[in-house]
A and B are shown apart, each in its own frame.
Chain A
Amino acid sequence: ISTLVLAEHEGGSVKAPSVSAVEAAKLLGEENSITMLLAGSGSSLQEAAEHAASCHPSVSQVLVADSDAFAYPLAEPWAKLVHLVQQRDDYSHVVAASSSFGKNILPRAAALLDVSPITDVTDISGSHQFVRPIYAGNALCTVRYSGTTPCMLTIRATSFPVTPDSADSKSNVASISQVDLSTFDKDSIGKSRYVKLTSEDTERPDLGNARIVVTGGRGLKSADNFKMLEKLAEKLGAAVGATRAAVDASFVPNELQVGQTGKIVAPELYLAFGVSGAIQHIAGMRDSKIIVAVNKDADAPIFQVADYGLVGDLFEVIPELLEKLPEKK
């Protein structure tokens, strides 16, 4: 088997979920040559390629596609690129992380290659058998892929954590080569144009791979009250999350949403304040190691998944926590 990992990079380094995709690819079989594909333009791409070459010992080759067409993560040119590289090198598997990047591009590329992709894989047992959650994680579905090559997957990064020693290994540096784009068909690519990205500037860790996540629900009642949670997060070195209800009430921007349709997180510690625990939310955080819930309603479903629950008023509990927690070192 040979695997192409479609990697996302930012500021000169490969994003953590894409390294998890390599970790997942490793599980496809013993004899697996893993190639990482990066696209973009300019110097940050070259930097990211160097990072890719040493980000995981299992990566044996890095392919770089340097063109203005890939300056932004648009699905149209990227899917064509995957198609082109796949036609040329005939990989048995194509893997990407289930990030908004992977979810946007991989199914489109699969359609171009006329295969059925398998999205949101959480477990891999062999080269063609996978497990993925369905019905918001209320059931697990075992899928056997019987289609033609390539077998295309997106994987949940939280299910394939990268161990520090495998990630830091510098012993194995992969070769870097450029993708020949002379046959790249630019038709239909100008049909989508990147305008801008609006995001919140924050020094807190990224929600997707934070060790601690502090989440607020509608129980926080206002955007102002969310500031309390942000203070708590700062003290704990945690990321801030929110339920869909809190996002829809405009307390916080959408990128903080945890749940079936938001981000899937699995931190060491998950603190939920004023979160009732709708199945759509639980779907996004049930794999957290330790779940702590504070809610006024003793019957709130969040308590069914919580390791520690406190029936109480978050407007009393959070200030008390803020007072008693030591300052962040």
Chain B
Amino acid sequence: MKIMVTLKRVVDYAVKIRVKSDKSGVETHNVKMSMNPFCEIALEEAVRIKEAGLASEVVAVSVGPQQCVDTLRTGLAMGADRGIHVEATGALYPLTIAKILKKLVELENPGLLILGKQAIDDDCNQTGQMVAGLLGWPQGTFASKVLLDKDKQEVTVDREVDGGLETLCLDLPAVITHPRDDKREKQASG
């Protein structure tokens, strides 16, 4: 079974952002860019599943400008087996990304698609749910724990919801989004 993971290139979590003087957006030139921390968690989870012998390959995907290749290289260094860059410029909305991901899923046929639950730039928290809807796959959003059962072809997910932890059992293939903060954020927040 293949796992596909998405990696978004965003302004580094430690950068104090500045709004452009014409108020048209947030300055991203000459600013340190990194992998979205939630995507990092998603990738770590995928690599962990593969190392447990439950997946054969981890494919990382990044959609955006040329520099996303750097984000993919970071992903490869973290344990992804292969990277796919979809070059795109201009504003990209979650619906567009979800449609691109749907196409890639149809080409690659992964058993699991794992995403970060949101990107720390636009804070949209949409893409995972949307691609799951487009594919007609079950979704386990805001997952803090993922248990894969290869024989039954299902995955049990603990979800962080307002009232506590919700446990769901999903048939594969499925979409999972991860909420847990980056280790560095843990160190940073008191």
Decide: A278 near B188, CB < 8 A? Known: A107-B129, A120-B123, A138-B17. Answer: yes
Q: What is the CB-to-nearest-CB distance from B121 to chain A, in angstroms, rounded to a whole number?
A: 6
Knowing A116-B94, A139-B26 are in contact, say whether A245-B167 is a contact too (CB < 8 A).
Answer: no
CA distance A302 to B188 in the complex (A): 13
Q: Which of A111, A120, A188, A197 has the most CB of B within 10 A?
A: A111
Within 8 Å by CB of A194, from B94, B117, B163, B168, lies B168
Contact indicator A198/B120 (Cβ below 8 Å): no
| Residues from chain A with Cβ under 8 Å of B174 in the complex | 191-192
In the complex, the answer to whether B189 meets A280 with C-beta atoms within 8 Å is yes
Whether a CB of chain A sits under 8 angstroms from the CB of B149 is no
Closest residue of A by beta carbon distance from B139: A75
B141 touches A245 (CB 8 A): no
A279-B162 Cα distance, complex, nearest whole Å: 21
The yes or no answer to A244 lying at the interface (CB within 8 A) is yes
Is B118 at the interface (CB under 8 A from chain A)?
A: yes
Q: Please tell me which one of the listed residues A108, A134, A245, A260 contacts residue B130 in the complex, with CB atoms under 8 A apart.
A: A108
Docked Cα-Cα span, A261 to B162, in Å, equals 11
Q: Which of B61-69, B73-81, B178-186 is the contact stretch?
A: B178-186
Interface: A275 (CB within 8 A): yes
**Per-residue B-contact encoding for A201-227, CB less than 8 Å = 1, 0 else:** 000000010000000011100000000
Interface string of A221-248 (1 = CB under 8 A from B): 0000000000000000000000111001
Interface of chain B residues 137 through 177 with chain A (CB within 8 A): 137-142, 144, 156, 159-171, 174
A104–B189 contact, CB under 8 A?
Answer: no
Main SS class of interface, B? mixed
Give Cα A208 to B161, complex, Å: 12
| Segment at the B interface, from A61-69, A166-174, A251-259, A319-327 | A251-259
A114 nearest CB neighbor, chain B only? B95
Flag whether B124 is at the interface (Cβ < 8 A): yes
Stretch at the interface among A23-31, A43-51, A95-103: A95-103
CA distance A254 to B126 in the complex (A): 21
* Residues A192 and B139 in contact, CB atoms below 8 Å apart: yes
Interface residues on A, range: 35 or more
Number of B residues with CB within 8 Å of any CB on chain A: 56
- Docked Cα-Cα span, A191 to B17, in Å, equals 42
- List CB contacts (< 8 Å) of A70-104 with chain B: 74-76, 79, 99-101, 103-104
| A18 contacts the other chain (CB 8 A) | no
Which residues of A90-148 are within 8 A (CB) of B? 99-101, 103-112, 114-117, 119-120, 132-136, 138-139, 141
A255 partner residues in chain B, CB cutoff 8 A = 160-165
A263 to B129, CA, bound (A): 19
Q: Is the CB of B189 within 8 A of A199?
A: no
Which residue in B127, B163, B171, B188 is a CB contact (below 8 Å) of A192?
B171
B residues less than 8 Å from A328 (CB atoms): none
Give complex CA distance A259, B120 in Å. 12
CA distance A100 to B129 in the complex (A): 12
Is the pair B138, A135 in contact by a Cβ cutoff of 8 Å? no
Q: Knowing A111-B131, A116-B94, A196-B167 are in contact, say whether A248-B186 is a contact too (CB < 8 A).
A: yes
Question: Which residues from chain B contact A280 at a C-beta distance below 8 Å?
Answer: 181, 185, 188-189
Task: Please name 8 pairs of A and B residues whose Cβ atoms are closer than 8 Å in the assembled complex, sorted by A.
Answer: A111-B98, A117-B126, A120-B125, A135-B17, A136-B120, A195-B156, A244-B185, A278-B188
**Chain B residues close to A by CB (< 8 Å):** 11, 16-17, 19, 26, 93-95, 98, 117-118, 120-127, 129-134, 136-142, 144, 156, 159-171, 174, 179-181, 185-186, 188-190
Interface pairs A-B: 7 shortest CB-CB: A276-B190, A199-B164, A278-B189, A111-B133, A111-B130, A192-B138, A107-B129
